[in-house]
A = this chain, B = another copy of it.
Amino acid sequence: MSIIVQKYGGTSVGSVQRIEHVANRIIATAASGKKVVVVVSAMGKTTDELVGLASEITDEPRKREMDMLLATGEQVTIALLAMALHKRGQEATSLTGWQAGMITESHHGNARILEVERARMDELLDKVHVVIVAGFQGIDQQGEIMTLGRGGSDTSAVAIAAALKAERCEIYTDVTGVFTTDPRVVKQARKLQTISYDEMLEMANLGASVLHPRAVEFAKNYEIPLLVASSMVDEPGTMIEEEGTMEQNLLVRGIAFENDVTKVTVHGLPNEIHTLPTLFAHLSAAGINVDIIIQNQTDSGMAISFSITQSSLKETLARLEELKGELSFQGIDYEEELAKVSIVGSGMVSNPGVAAKMFEILAANDIAIKMVSTSEIKVSAVIDEELMVLAVEMLHEQFKLHEEEPAVAVKV
């Protein structure tokens, strides 16, 4: 009897009515002859309410006590969901993170899962077939309650699926799947039937907020097929799994984009081996996240351009000034109101023409490229912010992302 892990997010369990609806879905899965592990988040606004209580007391609660406080949110949901299943005649047992054996590192508010001690879940799955686990939480080896940080419940679900060698991990959320690009911006955006782990990772890292990258990485490492779907509507979601060979015909799978990008250029740097590490170690120590980096050698020394978010510009300029003595550069330029547009697709690794086609499409629409960055499955271009939506629409159309993907293109 194979095991399905289902994760329902805060909106999916946001009220007693929604919990009852989720109970019905779980029963349908159990009735199809599967053992089911259900991972749930705190009900809708519960976490915000708990944070609100804490903030009435102090602006700087210790993370340990925040974990103690917030971990109650999921515990309420698991108990209520178990009750809803019992009322419908479905056996089920709820488990907190520590009861389910979710062992984490000792890092309050942002712990990673180290291990899932599966014995208790195994025993219960044999007996009652449905086990409900509080997501987003675990304990460290000292018995301290830890929360997992952002995307935590997704990671809980994938880690459990990996530990139990589940057939599949289903992530139910408030979107119906993974789209070729953000459907709120581009009307032609189409829901993908499938996407590979690597493509999903690029999409997630590039700002498509469907799934946390940590959960995707976990699923990739343990080869757990991930289904992303909505618990509200009854339509197929997107399956994230290892890509099939035929799929490489599809060069571009999705387009990600983000605004508020700023490009900073430092001119006339000394052409020495320590210049780059000195510069970026100093920015990193200040917590500044640098994205694309371009290095250029000229007669007057080295020029370095890099992109940051708009909000870190002031801090970046201040930190660079501190280096003026050590690196004796000539000057700093910066350009604001930029955006980054990225095409993602594992097919492009064997098709070097994809990047060229992207540049052509942008040029044909008078969109100037300020910076470029490429990886095996992604090309990113920094352009003017006001041209971002146009660029995404043109790329979406020219790479034919609105067209249905062939059903044969995917290993099932």
Q: Do A66 and B79 touch (CB < 8 A)?
A: yes
A363 at the interface (CB under 8 A from B): no
Q: Which one of B58, B66, B83 contacts A61 once the chains associate, using CB atoms below 8 Å?
A: B83
A57 at the interface (CB under 8 A from B): yes
A62 at the interface (CB under 8 A from B): yes
Alpha-carbon distance A64/B99, docked complex (angstroms): 14
Known: A57-B83, A60-B87, A72-B76. 7 other contacts (CB 8 A): A16-B56, A50-B76, A61-B86, A65-B86, A66-B79, A69-B76, A69-B80
Alpha-carbon distance A75/B65, docked complex (angstroms): 10
Query: Are A57 and B87 CB-contacts (below 8 A) given A72-B75, A75-B71?
Result: yes
A195 at the interface (CB under 8 A from B): no
Q: Do A80 and B53 touch (CB < 8 A)?
A: yes
A68 at the interface (CB under 8 A from B): yes
Alpha-carbon distance A57/B57, docked complex (angstroms): 33
A162 at the interface (CB under 8 A from B): no
Alpha-carbon distance A84/B56, docked complex (angstroms): 10
| B-chain residues with CB within 8 Å of residue A19 when the two chains form the complex | 57
Q: Which one of B57, B60, B93, B99 contacts A80 once the chains associate, using CB atoms below 8 Å?
A: B57
| B-chain residues with CB within 8 Å of residue A84 when the two chains form the complex | 57-58
Q: Closest B-chain residue to A52, C-beta based? A: B16
| B-chain residues with CB within 8 Å of residue A60 when the two chains form the complex | 87
Query: Are A80 and B54 CB-contacts (below 8 A) given A65-B86, A75-B72, A86-B62?
Result: yes
Alpha-carbon distance A64/B76, docked complex (angstroms): 13
A199 at the interface (CB under 8 A from B): no
Q: Do A57 and B94 touch (CB < 8 A)?
A: no
Q: Which one of B62, B64, B68 contacts A75 once the chains associate, using CB atoms below 8 Å?
A: B68
Q: Closest B-chain residue to A59, C-beta based? A: B87
Q: Do A68 and B53 touch (CB < 8 A)?
A: no
Alpha-carbon distance A54/B82, docked complex (angstroms): 10
Report the minimum CB–CB distance from A363 to chain B (whole Å).
Answer: 56
Alpha-carbon distance A82/B53, docked complex (angstroms): 13
Q: Do A58 and B76 touch (CB < 8 A)?
A: no
Query: Are A57 and B143 CB-contacts (below 8 A) given A65-B86, A75-B71?
Result: no
